Amino acid sequence: MPVNYIDLPINDLNKLLKELDITARELLQIIAGFSQQQFNKLPFAGSWTAGQVSEHLLKSIEGIPQLMNGNTKPTTERKADEHVITIESIFLDFDTKMKSPDFILPSDGPHDRNEMLNSFRACLDEIAMKARTMDLTLTCTDFPFPGIGELTRWELITFAICHGRRHTLQLKNIYKHVTMATV
């Protein structure tokens, strides 16, 4: 039975799925490019290791499938993608440094690169499957997003994409530093 995506044309859904796929592939590719030693090497003072960045990102998105399965309500007071621009403007502003909320701060490590890759694959595959099969216009009510409020499933997926892109860029920068140091 097809899902009724109220205000979201199918080409927008296809675009969302394509962006999720591209983001996932780029993220997995950069993580796979690190050796285990490089994954846990501090690139420069004040930075996180690639393992810490990966753990932080995973902590931020691994709850999305549960939120999508959780309590929801119809989105009637606004468009289902109204917060997309806000999410993009926050997380795709690469010039602005952000402070992570405590609940998604990474541990000191060490971090296992292969375990992280497997965890990301499973999480991102589950988000993509849900994106294809669920009504993305419903608002998830179990966790108000800090500074924004309750998000629709569509907006949660957008967050995963934008936060993933932000940290993929950070991982690429870390990769340059830790591979230059070993050459």
10-34: pLDDT as tens digits:
568 889 999 999 999 999 999 999 9
Which of 20, 113, 105 minimizes the C-alpha distance to 68? 20
Pairing of strands 149-152, 72-73: unpaired
| Structural domains of the chain ordered from first start | 10-182 (1.20.120.450)
Are 130 and 68 within 8 A, CB to CB? yes
At 120-155, the pLDDT tens digits run 999 999 999 999 999 999 999 999 998 899 999 999
Whole-model pTM over 0.75? yes
Band the pLDDT of 4: cuts 50, 70, 90. Answer: very low
pLDDT higher than 80, residue 181: no
Query: Cβ atoms within 10 A of the Cβ of 83, count?
Result: 22
User: For 75-84, what is the mean pLDDT?
Assistant: 90
Are 91 and 156 within 8 A, CB to CB? no
DSSP count for the chain of H helices, then E strands:
7, 3
Higher pLDDT, 172 or 46: 172
pLDDT higher than 70, residue 2: no
What percentage of the chain exceeds 70 in pLDDT?
Answer: 92
User: For 89-111, what is the mean pLDDT?
Assistant: 89
pLDDT higher than 60, residue 183: no
d(CA 168, CA 30): 7
Band the pLDDT of 68: cuts 50, 70, 90. Answer: very high
